[in-house]
Structure 1
Amino acid sequence: MSHAPSDILYYSHNLNPRVAVAVARHLQAPVRYVRADPMGREREAFRPINPNTRVPILVEPDLTLWETDAIAMRLAARCDESFWPPARREEVMLWVSWSAHHFTSAGGVLYFEHIIVPRYFERAPDAAVVKAADADFREFAAILDETLAGRRWLVGDAPTYADFRVASALPFAAEARLPLEPFAHIRRWHAQLEEIDAWRDPFAGLD
């Protein structure tokens, strides 16, 4: 008799949970996927396992993790170390940190103002915020584009979590109005990621 996995990955369809689900499915992690709404009707129920009341959350019998990067590190260690290779962990971490503080930080603002605000808030996107984020995105995209001119993937010869993390906002590029047109190497690199089923459609078959 087969049994459902005891580990649960709680997720939503938003930017960071999308990355966590893509990682788990790419690594074929033995987890059960549960769509959740901890910012809404399930808020108090989720507070004991994540005081931030946000997803993603990975719940194992003896460990609970509630940040995308920590979840990715855990799943790579359990399922396929080459996705966060121990010999190159600092290089992967460099790109994870750069994404969080620079490239995806700027892209995340455009994602929020152009996608989340119209959906959930009774206001228009903040033009000043959008202008500043657009400028930041272009600045950091130029750095990424130059880097990718000389390599196929960010770390090594195969996709790693560095690629998944830095590309976090790119699946939302059209709707978030990310200015990718000048950056041919970024567009080529993300097209490669789109060839990976788990990245292109992480929610296939899920709610």
Structure 2
Amino acid sequence: MKLHYSRNLNPRVAVAVARHLDAPVEYIRTSPMGPDREAFRAINPNTLVPVLVEADRTLWETDAIACRLAALCDPGFWPADRQAEVLMWVSWSAHHFIPAGGTFYFENIIRPQFLDRPADAAALAEADSGFRRYGGILDDILAGRSWLVGDRPTYADFRVASALPFAEQALLPVSGFRHILAWHDRLNRIDAWRAPFDGLD
């Protein structure tokens, strides 16, 4: 199997999952929007990473890749008996928490690197409101548990925490959420989460 990745937010999650599960993948750093874009389109018509290539099939999208790797390597990372709960957190993060955090990531990290214009203040203000609203919900829930689903880390934790490794650089307003910060400290004790790209290109 081959996992095509970059060092951006979603591919980081896919690489962290693969390394946490000790998945038998070859890691290939890829620039799908670069000169080989048309060739890459045969692997993923969206020309985005991550992409998992397995024999004669490909999977794109981080959540699908995580689901497949968990099934192959450690079903407890996406437990069948609590599948709906994991999916609830994947959906919640995709529709609420990550869009807010992702805006900070884009405006404060990606835009300065690649676009010659200042951060969008209106977008950041809206993201700040959303992050504080949904961060408050998450913080309250984490006050009563160590992990989001069950008594061990699952993909729910990796997915919901997607933007948190970039918190300082992206200027995420996390300082008031002590339970989120403690939870992310626990995640950072997992080598694959803390430093997914160690030893890779």
TM-score between the two structures when normalised by the length of structure 2: 0.99
Shift of 1:90: 0.3
Partners of 1:181 and 1:20 lie apart in 2 by 26
- Please name the residue that 2:73 is paired with: 79
Partners of 1:194 and 1:36 lie apart in 2 by 26
- Please name the residue that 1:89 is paired with: 83
Shift of 1:43: 1.0
1:28 paired to 2:12? no
Counterpart mapping for 1:153-172 below 5 A = 153-172=147-166
Partners of 2:136 and 2:115 lie apart in 1 by 32
Partners of 1:175 and 1:100 lie apart in 2 by 21
User: Which of 58, 79, 103 matches 2:97?
Assistant: 103
Partners of 2:56 and 2:23 lie apart in 1 by 17
Shift of 1:42: 2.2
Name the aligned partner's letter for residue 153 of structure 2: P
Shift of 1:116: 0.3
Partners of 2:68 and 2:95 lie apart in 1 by 22
Counterpart mapping for 1:85-164 below 5 A = 85-164=79-158
- Please name the residue that 1:199 is paired with: 193
Shift >4 Å, 4+ stretches: none
- Please name the residue that 2:175 is paired with: 181
- What root-mean-square deviation, in Å, do the aligned CA atoms of Structure 1 and Structure 2 show? 0.5
Shift of 1:65: 0.2
Partners of 1:155 and 1:71 lie apart in 2 by 19
Shift of 1:153: 0.2
TM-score between the two structures when normalised by the length of structure 1: 0.96
User: Which of 39, 62, 72 matches 1:68?
Assistant: 62
1:49 paired to 2:43? yes
Deviations 1:91-125 (A, max 9, x none): 00000000000001110011000000000001000
Q: Is this contact kept in 2: 1:104–1:166, CA < 8 A?
A: yes
Deviations 1:131-187 (A, max 9, x none): 110111010000000000010000000000000000000000001111001100000
Q: Is this contact kept in 2: 1:19–1:165, CA < 8 A?
A: yes
- Please name the residue that 1:11 is paired with: 5
Q: Is this contact kept in 2: 1:194–1:200, CA < 8 A?
A: yes
Report the 3-state secondary structure (helix = DSSP H, G, I; strand = E; otherwise coil) of the residue aligned with 2:76: helix
Partners of 2:139 and 2:104 lie apart in 1 by 19
Number of matched residues?
Answer: 201
Shift of 1:62: 2.8
Partners of 2:77 and 2:147 lie apart in 1 by 12
